[in-house]
Structure formats: C-alpha cells, structure tokens
C-alpha cells in the first residue's frame, strides 16, 4: 500500500487543475439525454485536444493518443469531480461503440465512425434488448435476411436510450436462424436511424420522462458491409461492448458525492424543529451507507491497481455492478425519507426541494438495478464465474 | 500509487496461513473450546515461532517493527483458522500501548519479552471503548485503581494488563498485584478468553497517553477485529460454496439452484469490498492520516454486519448439518458473534463516526459517553 503519487503524476494533477481553473467560462450547460449542443461539443473538442477526453484513443481516429495510464485517468476523474467541472461527452457511442470498433471494427469503419463520434457530431443508440430477449439477450429474434448485397431487417428493439436523438444505431440481429445454437448466427450491424422503415416510439417511465424508446424495424435495408466483426459473430462482438457498459454503471465517486449531499440535507431538513441528523434512527441509516460507500471507493482503487498491473480482478470486479447500483438506490431512498412528506414533492411543485431530484433518482436508479444485467443475473455471474458454482442444467427440449 | 499488498506481505500471509493450518487445525480448536480456561501454550508457541508477537514491537526492542496493516493481515488468518490465542491483547494492544505511551523503563523491561512471546498482557480497555454494561466503574485515585473492568480479553495466564479507567486514562497493572481479582466469564466464543477484573486499591503504573492514547488503541483493536471477521466470514463462505458443489438433492448439486447461488453471491458481494476498506484503514493508521479513526470505525461496523450475514447464511446453505457440531461451523459462527459485539457494536461505531465527523454535537450522541 502506497497511496502517494509520483512526481510525474503530481505534476499531471497540477496541470489538470490549472486547465480547469483557466477554462471555467467554457463549461457547457447540462443537456440530458438529447443531442449535445454547440457548447458541449466545443468543450469536448477542447478536452480531447488536452487529453482529458478520448485520452488513449489513437490520433488517427481523432483521439489524444496517450499511452494508457490508469492513474492519470483516475487523476482526471478526481480533479473534474473536485472542480465540479462537466465531463467530456458520456454516451453509448463513446463508451460502448468506440471501444468495440477499436477492438473489432475494420480499418475503414474505425476511420469513418470514431472521429465524428468522439466529437459528438454523430449520436448513437444501442439496439440490443427486445421485448422477448432481456436477460436472455442471445435469444433475440430481430431478423436480417440476405437480399443481394443487403440485409432486410424486421423486428423490434426496446430500452433504446437516446434513439429519438440518434443518427446511428449499433444493433444485434439474427442473420443465421439455422445456426447450431442461439449464440451463433447473431450479427452486429451499424446503420443510420433515418433509414426507411424505422419507427421510434418513446417509452414513458414512472419518472414521467421517456428515458427509453421502442424501435420498430419494417423491411429496413442495410448493406452487408455494415457488419462489425465477422457475420454470425455478433455475440462475441457485443460482449466486448457489454463489458464496457458494466464498467460504466458503478462509479463510486458519484455515490460519494451523493452521500455528502445527503449529509448536508440531513443538517438542513428539520421536523418539529429538530434537524434530521439529530435523529438517531436516520443517522444510523446514513452512517451505514457511508461505510458502504467508503468500502466501494477503496474497492475501486484496489481494482484500479489490479488493472494497472494487468491482474485479473475476478470476483472483485464481478460484484461492483450489483453492489454499486443497490447502494445508489438506498441513498436515494434515504434522501426521500429524510424529507418525509416533502420528499414526495415532484418536478416544479411549490415547496419542492431541488425539483424532486431524489424522488426521481429513487425511481430511475431502480432501472439501473435492472438494466445492464439485472441484479439476479449479476448474482448468477458472481456465483458461477467468481465462486465456481455449477451452471443451471439445461432443460431437456420438449418433444 | 499502489493500492495493494506488497509481494512480501502476500508471501508472509501464505506462510502464516499454511503454518496455522498445522498449529491450529479444527481438532486443536475443539480441544481448546472444551477447556477454555486453560492456556493453549502449544498454539501460542507456534505463533511466537512465526514472529507474530514481535510484529508491532520496534526493532530496537527485539521486535520486527511492522505496522498495523501487517497485523491486520495476520488477524484475517487467525479468524480464518479460529485460532485460540491471545493475539489481540498480547500482540496488538500491549505493544501499541507500551510503545506509544510507556516510560523508557517499562518499555525496555517488557517489550523484549513481549516480542519473544514470553510475556503476555491482557487488555482491560473495553469499558470506555464500547460502553459500560455494569453499574460499576473503574477509577484511579492517587495512583491506585478501584472498581471493575468488564470484557477484559486474553487474561488466561497473562502476566499483566493494559488497563483503561472510566476516564480513558491508561495504566499498566501486574497480574499478581495485590487487590486484583480475575473472574473468567464464559462467552459464546470459547476460542477467546474473556474476564472481569475487580480492583481494590491496586497499584498501577500510568501510561502517558491520555484519551488520545485510548483512542489509538481502540482504532487498532477495532481494525484487528474487523480483519478477524473478514477471515472468519470468507472461510464460512468458502465452506458453503464447497458444500453446495458436493451436496446433491433432486439429482443435482444444490449449488446449481439459483436460490442457493444467490445466497453465496450475496455473502461474497457484501464481504469483499470491506477488504479494501480494511487495507486503507491500516495504511491510514500506520501513516497517521486524518481519517484513520473514522475508517477503523467504519471498517469494523461494515465487517461485523457483512460477516454476521455470511455466518448465518453459510450455516443455512449447509442445511441441518450446519447447526450440528460435525462440521465445526459453530466455532466460526460464534467467533463472528464475539467480534460483532466487542469493542463497539455496529450501532455504537456508527454513532461515533457521526460524532467524529462533527455531524452532531456531543450531547446528541445517543449511546453513552464517547471515548
């Protein structure tokens, strides 16, 4: 254990800090799940230029081209949090498609799609889940039938975040329905969202917003050259992407920031004139969560070191999504409870606190527990891959 | 920045793990638990051969000069093997109290013998650390102690005690001092000696630590128990997993049923993140970082709940066999129970954590006098 940084890393930290201090007037405004507006794209370009976004992506693909250095990435994250500076663009295109193309795409695909995606000029959505294929994603049935140099796509996708704002989709389709098992015969296709035959319907959720969409395909024609990786190998290609998604869904520093704002809230909210923090029952809940958040923060640093040393973290990594999403949900629940009846106030109701953001998180974070591999799927993975327990025997096929 | 153990630390852990398998196998634990008032000299000699009592003693006094993080790594293995040995009192609290707050004379007199494993001290510091359950306090008047101290650890065959009075002042008392009565109390965990000491005008040598000194000892004690919980908890998880692989019902291993799998995953996912918190707290203690005390409190509160969940769930995975003595799970179950309560239950620790961060005023502190 040595938690001091080398001179090189300390110097790098000063550099990031100086950059953020000098560029305050360029911070863009939040824009939700919509297309990044001009100021967000300008900020992104500025960050890439300095190596604070797309840091390790080669220059020929529009990145900064630095050698991977996990500690420097960690320092960037810490300093942006400390300065409350907006991150570079975080989107499914940048977090999931770009790493997948880098690993599996053709040279032509990399050069064509990565640079404008990094700059926020092309927005992507992910077409994976279907109404009949959620946890059992590999059973997906959206079909792509060969027709000359094209595929003709028919079927439906669901939980498609940002579909309404997307230019492009990366999508799993079944190209070989007669393959020996469900994992084979899936292909990973990319195509424009304005291709004729695509219909998008917003999916209203309990938060009152449409964070997701349904996407319908009717005879959508896509050239075969739009396959990423080999035809029929889409399952392998998509697993490379899912790995990136799960990594994205459990940032311990974000939980720590929420914890701190709840402690502040508990010092401000009063019931019959008594501060909530002075009530032992609430205080105990808060402190229990603080312990969990601290453990996940240090667990994250442990994983970071393992990653930097190219060790396989095994079980230690498998538990992160399950734990982190559950903790976030419990944090939101505590904040709502701290406010009691006032915690019910929503949107811009008179008397509402921060537009009912905690109530919204309490609902949306439940979606995070379900999405990206449900808690139950995570527990199967921990048991089978982390603890070596046997897989469920396959059911015999009905005769 | 390297958030990991060193190669030497990992090797040391492997060595100690192997040795403890020989020194304290389940049969030896059973024997110790059957006669909990006898000192397990062979086990202690085995630990002394490994240098364990010398870890926290400075090299100048014949010790190894290691840090609390190293002691934490050993404590994890002592929990894993439910070793019946006075590690906490003799190898952690005594050297830390003497090195930090003893006079030069006391240090040169006791520390070399502690390092060699020849001298063992018990610790009577629980009362001001975890609260006083009896209505009898312990007070010092003109250098003499009177009253009682409950939940004393590692008293069996001890040569002396590190004592904290109700005001948190520290003393060294010899075991055969006039006016000192030692009453063994039997807890559910028979791998650890626990006692009540009764003092009537007992001569005591002050250790010059003040309340800060007791706080430091409390931090170390809590972290060492958190590590014991981690080791005992993981041992129970591993036992449950192995059992679930070989126990067949309905024509298949019970571990292939999701209901059983999920029990195992929940145990592991709950316990494992605490390891990093333990390492950090040990590092923070050894380097005098500001948040050391807070992290020791959180580490123990976290581990206590995660290990208790593992202990009950692992027992349950074993079905009826889990509650019998045939597999011996009960020794781990009970050791976890002991560590859960001792030196601050989770509720008390979390109260202290809130106080420590200035979230509440001292008069709002709910569970008694904070140290």
Does B249 share its domain with B147?
A: no
- Domain assignment present for B80: yes
List of chain A residues whose C-beta atoms are within 8 Å of the C-beta of residue B283:
1, 3
- Domain assignment present for A23: yes
Q: How far apart are the first and last CA of chain B?
A: 34
- Active-site choice (A245, A326, A341, A384): A245
Instruction: Work out the average pLDDT over A146-173.
Output: 96
Count of domains for chain B: 3
pLDDT for the residue numbered B271: 98
For A124, other C-beta atoms within 10 Å of its C-beta total 25
Q: Are B277 and A291 within 8 A, CB to CB?
A: yes
Instruction: Work out the average pLDDT over A8-33.
Output: 93
- Which of A232, A266, A297 lies at the terminal end of a domain, its last residue? A232
- Domain assignment present for A216: yes
What's the Rg (C-alpha) of chain A? Answer: 23
pLDDT in tens, B213-226: 999 999 999 999 99
Buried b (16+ CB within 10 A) or exposed e, B219-257: bbbbbbbbbbbbbbbbbbbbbbbebbbeeeeeeebbbbb
Q: Are A283 and B282 within 8 A, CB to CB?
A: no
- Alpha-carbon torsion angle B161, B166, B171, B174, nearest 10: -40
- Secondary structure (3-state) at A173: strand
Q: Are B295 and A283 within 8 A, CB to CB?
A: no
* Cross-chain CB nearest to B276 (options A277, A295, A387): A295
pLDDT for the residue numbered B181: 98
- Among B1, B247, B295, the strongest candidate for a mutation testing the A interface, having the largest count of A CBs within 10 A, is B1
Q: Which residues pair with A152 in a beta bridge?
A: A145, A221
Using the predicted structure, report yes or no on whether residue A122 has a pLDDT greater than 60.
Answer: yes
Using the predicted structure, report yes or no on whether residue A30 has a pLDDT greater than 90.
Answer: no
Using the predicted structure, report yes or no on whether residue A248 has a pLDDT greater than 60.
Answer: no
Does B109 share its domain with B155?
A: no
Does A218 share its domain with A256?
A: no
Does A62 share its domain with A157?
A: no
Does B361 share its domain with B224?
A: yes
- Return d(Cα B306, Cα B271) in angstroms, integer: 5
- Which of A40, A67, A89 lies at the terminal end of a domain, its last residue? A89
Does A379 share its domain with A254?
A: yes
- Return d(Cα B46, Cα B23) in angstroms, integer: 6
pLDDT in tens, A75-100: 998 899 888 899 899 888 998 999 99
Does A222 share its domain with A255?
A: no
CA distance A50 to chain B (A): 23
Does B195 share its domain with B246?
A: no
Does B256 share its domain with B270?
A: yes
- Domain assignment present for B222: yes
Q: Are B1 and A305 within 8 A, CB to CB?
A: yes
Identify whether the C-beta of residue A315 lies closer than 8 Å to the C-beta of residue A274: no
CATH of the domain at A210: 2.40.110.10
CATH of the domain at B38: 1.10.540.10
Does B199 share its domain with B232?
A: no
In which domain, by residue range, is A190 found? 124-232
- The full DSSP string for B88-110 is IIIIIIHHHHHHHH--HHHHHHH
Percent of chain B at pLDDT > 90 equals: 91
Instruction: Work out the average pLDDT over A116-125.
Output: 96
Report the sign of the C-alpha dihedral through residues A366, A369, A374, A379, in that order: negative
Does B240 share its domain with B286?
A: yes
Count of domains for chain A: 3
Buried b (16+ CB within 10 A) or exposed e, B139-169: ebeeebbbbbbbbbbbbbbbbbbbbbbbebb
- Which of B210, B243, B275 lies at the terminal end of a domain, its last residue? B210
Does A363 share its domain with A261?
A: yes
Of A23-32, A162-171, A318-327, B67-76, the poorest mean pLDDT is in A23-32
pLDDT-derived band at A250 (thresholds 50, 70, 90) equals low
- Domain assignment present for A309: yes
- Secondary structure (3-state) at A381: helix
Using the predicted structure, report yes or no on whether residue A397 has a pLDDT greater than 80.
Answer: no
- Domain assignment present for A113: no
- Domain assignment present for B1: no
pLDDT in tens, A48-64: 999 999 998 999 999 99
- Domain assignment present for B27: yes
- Return d(Cα A88, Cα A90) in angstroms, integer: 6
A33 closest CA partner among A154, A189, A166: A166
pLDDT for the residue numbered A399: 54
**A vs B: CB pairs below 8 A:** 165
* Cross-chain CB nearest to B272 (options A294, A315, A389): A315
- Which of B210, B232, B255 lies at the terminal end of a domain, its last residue? B210
B345 closest CA partner among B89, B81, B126, B71: B126
- Secondary structure (3-state) at B37: coil
- Domain assignment present for A200: yes
- Domain assignment present for B253: yes
Angle at B346 between CA B340 and CA B349, to 5 degrees: 120
Does B229 share its domain with B355?
A: yes
- Domain assignment present for A243: no
- Return d(Cα B207, Cα A330) in angstroms, integer: 45
- Domain assignment present for B324: yes
CA distance A392 to chain B (A): 5
pLDDT for the residue numbered A307: 84
Does A381 share its domain with A254?
A: yes
Does A209 share its domain with A332?
A: no
For A125: left if phi > 0, alpha if psi spans -120 to 50, otherwise beta; the answer is: beta
Does B217 share its domain with B361?
A: yes
pLDDT for the residue numbered A304: 86
- Which of B175, B210, B245 lies at the terminal end of a domain, its last residue? B210
Q: Are A2 and B295 within 8 A, CB to CB?
A: no
Does B227 share its domain with B322?
A: yes
- Secondary structure (3-state) at A10: helix
Instruction: Work out the average pLDDT over B263-272.
Output: 98
pLDDT for the residue numbered A210: 87
CATH of the domain at A315: 1.20.140.10
pLDDT for the residue numbered A283: 97
Mean pLDDT estimate for chain B:
95
Instruction: Work out the average pLDDT over B32-48.
Output: 96
- Domain assignment present for A244: no
- How much is the pTM? 0.93
Q: Are A295 and B253 within 8 A, CB to CB?
A: no
Does A377 share its domain with A278?
A: yes
Of A339-348, B161-170, B205-214, the poorest mean pLDDT is in B205-214
- Return d(Cα B122, Cα B112) in angstroms, integer: 17
For B318, other C-beta atoms within 10 Å of its C-beta total 20
Instruction: Work out the average pLDDT over A276-281.
Output: 96
Mean pLDDT estimate for chain A:
92
Does B30 share its domain with B63?
A: yes
- Domain assignment present for A152: yes
In which domain, by residue range, is B65 found? 7-88+96-115
Using the predicted structure, report yes or no on whether residue B370 has a pLDDT greater than 90.
Answer: no
Does A299 share its domain with A364?
A: yes
- Domain assignment present for B339: yes
- Among B269, B355, B365, the strongest candidate for a mutation testing the A interface, having the largest count of A CBs within 10 A, is B269
Chain A stretch 90-149, residues whose beta carbon is closer than 8 A to a beta carbon of chain B: none
- Domain assignment present for B100: yes
- Return d(Cα B111, Cα B130) in angstroms, integer: 27
Does A254 share its domain with A381?
A: yes
Does B216 share its domain with B361?
A: yes
Using the predicted structure, report yes or no on whether residue A240 has a pLDDT greater than 80.
Answer: no
A245 is known as an active-site residue = yes
A123 closest CA partner among A73, A190, A56, A64: A190
List of chain B residues whose C-beta atoms are within 8 Å of the C-beta of residue A319:
265, 268-269, 272-273
- Secondary structure (3-state) at A128: coil
Angle at A279 between CA A273 and CA A285, to 5 degrees: 140
Q: Are B354 and A296 within 8 A, CB to CB?
A: no
List of chain B residues whose C-beta atoms are within 8 Å of the C-beta of residue A296:
273
Torsions phi, psi for A55 (to 5 deg): -60, -45
Chain A stretch 228-267, residues whose beta carbon is closer than 8 A to a beta carbon of chain B: 263, 266-267
Is A154 in the B-facing interface, judged by CB distances under 8 Å? Answer: no
A305 closest CA partner among B5, B45, B200: B5
- Return d(Cα B40, Cα B360) in angstroms, integer: 45
pLDDT-derived band at A241 (thresholds 50, 70, 90) equals low
Does A217 share its domain with A258?
A: no
- Which of A173, A197, A232 lies at the terminal end of a domain, its last residue? A232
Identify whether the C-beta of residue B311 lies closer than 8 Å to the C-beta of residue B337: yes
The H-assigned helical ranges of chain B are 7-23, 26-34, 41-49, 68-80, 94-101, 104-116, 126-130, 210-246, 258-271, 273-286, 292-317, 329-341, 346-356
Residue A62's Cβ-count burial label (10 Å; 0-12, 13-18, 19+) is buried
Does A379 share its domain with A268?
A: yes
CATH of the domain at B128: 2.40.110.10
Torsions phi, psi for A105 (to 5 deg): -80, 165
């Amino acid at each position: 254990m040595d938690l001091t940084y080398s001179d090189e890393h300390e110097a790098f930290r000063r550099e990031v800090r100086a950059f953020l201090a000098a560029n305050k007037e360029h911070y863009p405004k939040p824009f939700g799940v919509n297309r990044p507006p001009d100021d967000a794209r300008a900020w992104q370009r500025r960050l890439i230029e300095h190596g604070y976004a797309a840091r390790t992506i080669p220059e020929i693909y529009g990145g900064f081209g630095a050698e991977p250095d996990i500690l420097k990435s960690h320092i960037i994250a810490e300093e942006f949090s400390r300065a409350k500076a907006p991150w570079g663009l975080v989107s499914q295109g940048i977090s999931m498609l770009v790493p997948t193309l880098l690993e599996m795409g053709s040279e032509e695909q990399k050069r064509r799609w990565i640079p404008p995606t990094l700059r926020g000029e092309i927005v992507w959505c992910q077409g994976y889940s279907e109404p009949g294929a959620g946890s059992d994603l590999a059973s997906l049935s959206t079909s792509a039938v060969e027709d000359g140099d094209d595929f003709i796509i028919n079927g439906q996708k669901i939980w498609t975040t940002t579909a309404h704002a997307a230019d492009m989709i990366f999508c799993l389709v079944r190209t070989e329905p007669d393959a020996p098992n469900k994992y084979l015969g899936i292909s990973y296709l990319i195509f424009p969202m304005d291709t004729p035959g695509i219909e998008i319907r917003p999916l209203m959720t309990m938060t009152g917003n449409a964070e997701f969409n349904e996407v319908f395909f009717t005879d959508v024609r896509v050239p075969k050259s739009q396959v990423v990786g080999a035809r029929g190998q889409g399952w392998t290609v998509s697993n490379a992407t899912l790995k990136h998604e799960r990594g994205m869904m459990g940032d311990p520093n974000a939980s720590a920031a929420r914890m701190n704002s709840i402690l502040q809230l508990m010092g401000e909210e009063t019931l019959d004139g008594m501060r909530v923090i002075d009530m032992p029952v609430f205080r105990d809940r808060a402190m229990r969560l603080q312990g969990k958040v601290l453990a996940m923060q240090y667990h994250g640093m442990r994983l970071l070191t393992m990653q930097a040393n190219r060790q396989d973290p095994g079980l230690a990594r498998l538990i992160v999504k399950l734990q982190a999403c559950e903790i976030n949900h419990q944090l939101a629940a505590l904040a709502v409870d701290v406010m009691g009846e006032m915690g019910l106030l929503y949107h811009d109701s008179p008397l509402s606190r921060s537009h009912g953001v905690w109530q919204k998180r309490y609902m949306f974070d439940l979606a995070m527990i379900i999405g990206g591999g449900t808690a139950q799927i995570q527990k199967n993975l921990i048991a089978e891959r982390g603890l070596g327990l046997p897989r469920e025997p396959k059911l015999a096929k009905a005769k | 920045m390297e958030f990991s153990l060193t190669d030497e630390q990992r090797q040391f852990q492997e060595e100690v793990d192997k040795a403890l398998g020989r020194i304290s196998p389940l049969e030896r634990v059973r024997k110790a638990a059957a006669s909990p008032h006898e000192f397990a000299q062979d086990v202690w000699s085995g630990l002394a051969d490994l240098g364990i009592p010398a870890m926290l003693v400075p090299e100048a006094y014949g010790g190894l000069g290691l840090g609390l993080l190293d002691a934490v790594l050993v404590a994890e293995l002592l929990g894993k093997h439910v070793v019946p040995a006075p590690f906490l009192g003799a190898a952690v609290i005594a050297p830390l109290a003497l090195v930090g707050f003893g006079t030069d004379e006391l240090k040169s007199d006791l520390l070399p013998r502690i390092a060699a494993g020849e001298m063992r001290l018990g610790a009577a510091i629980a009362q001001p650390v975890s609260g006083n359950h009896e209505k009898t306090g312990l007070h010092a008047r003109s250098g003499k102690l009177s009253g009682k101290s409950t939940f004393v650890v590692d008293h069996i065959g001890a040569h002396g005690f590190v004592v904290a009075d109700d005001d948190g002042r520290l003393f060294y008392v010899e075991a055969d001092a006039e006016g000192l009565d030692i009453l063994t109390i039997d807890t559910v965990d028979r791998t650890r000696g626990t006692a009540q000491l009764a003092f009537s005008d007992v001569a005591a040598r002050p250790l010059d630590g003040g309340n800060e000194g007791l706080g430091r000892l409390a931090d170390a004690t809590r972290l060492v128990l958190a590590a014991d919980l981690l080791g005992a908890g993981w041992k129970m998880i591993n036992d449950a997993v192995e059992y679930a692989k070989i126990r067949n019902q309905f024509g298949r291993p019970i571990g292939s049923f999701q209901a059983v799998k999920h029990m195992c995953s929940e145990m592991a996912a709950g316990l494992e993140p605490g390891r990093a918190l333990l390492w950090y707290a040990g590092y923070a203690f050894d380097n005098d970082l500001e948040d050391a005390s807070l992290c020791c409190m959180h580490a123990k509160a976290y581990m206590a709940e995660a290990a208790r969940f593992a202990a009950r769930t692992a027992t349950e995975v074993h079905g009826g066999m889990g509650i019998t003595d045939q597999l011996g799970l009960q020794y781990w179950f009970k050791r976890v129970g002991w560590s859960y309560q001792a030196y601050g239950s989770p509720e008390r620790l979390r109260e202290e954590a809130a106080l420590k961060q200035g979230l509440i005023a001292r008069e709002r502190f709910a569970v008694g006098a904070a140290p």
